Amino acid sequence: MHSYLNNTENKWPKKLQSDNFKIIIDADSSPVVHETIKVAAQHDIPVYLVKDYAHHTTTDYGEHVTTMYVDTASDSADYKIAALIQENDIVVTGDYGLASIVLHKARAIHHTGFLYSAQNIDTLLLTRHIHHESRKRNKRVKGPSKFTEMDRKQFIISLEQLIKA
């Protein structure tokens, strides 16, 4: 886990104002789709999977899960998610840009269980920009750590806490 993605910055938001919220997953490359669906089912929370047509599947996740497909163009899923969010929804994404867009209305959680917030999003976006600029100059930039079972377990714990907060 990146040093700037540490648990000391995880400040749980105030209790959700309404029980009428949904979980939206940026599902193209999310490693926690099944875990999110399982936790959501335990709390009767609807789940929306947003993915592009290149990731089409015939998997039936159950009646509380809606799969929405978007064009394969860059950021199509992000635009759809931004259009779907309502107050207090939870968005599962590894995309800092998408997280920054939804934070004004929704909660956003990384697939490692890290919560995005107004306090940490600028640092995350700046780091992403610096890495991008370094790669353009052919400098090697270390990528994210391999997703582990510990990350998966931490995500489940964090999602449960976010739902119950």
Is 4 part of any domain?
no
Q: Is the separation of the CB atoms in 156 and 109 below 8 Å?
A: no
Q: What pLDDT, on the 0 to 100 scale, is given for residue 138?
A: 77
How many domains does one find in the chain?
1
- In the predicted structure, residue 17 carries a pLDDT above the cut 80: no
Instruction: Outline where the chain has alpha helix (H).
Output: 33-42, 76-84, 96-102, 121-136, 149-164
Place of tokens 């990528």: 143
Q: What pLDDT, on the 0 to 100 scale, is given for residue 129?
A: 66
For the chain, what is the radius of gyration of the CA atoms?
A: 16
Q: What pLDDT, on the 0 to 100 scale, is given for residue 19?
A: 62
Is 23 part of any domain?
yes
Q: Which domain holds residue 81?
A: 15-164
Is 3 part of any domain?
no
What is the token pair recorded at 75?
A: 């950021």
Using 50, 70 and 90 to split pLDDT, how confident is the model at 37? very high
Measured distance CA(29)–CA(61) in Å, rounded: 17
Is 69 part of any domain?
yes
Q: What pLDDT, on the 0 to 100 scale, is given for residue 4?
A: 38
More confident residue, 132 or 116: 116
Distances, alpha carbon 111 to alpha carbons 63, 116, 156, in Å? 23, 11, 9
- Mean pLDDT lowest for which of 20-24, 68-72, 81-85, 125-129? 125-129
- In the predicted structure, residue 12 carries a pLDDT above the cut 70: no
Is 27 part of any domain?
yes
Amino acid at 43: H
pTM of the model: 0.80
- In the predicted structure, residue 136 carries a pLDDT above the cut 90: no
Is 80 part of any domain?
yes
- The CATH number given to whatever domain includes residue 149 is 3.40.50
Is 10 part of any domain?
no
Q: What pLDDT, on the 0 to 100 scale, is given for residue 131?
A: 65
Is 25 part of any domain?
yes
Question: How confident is the model over 59-106, as pLDDT tens digits?
Answer: 889 999 999 999 988 888 999 999 999 999 999 999 988 999 999 999
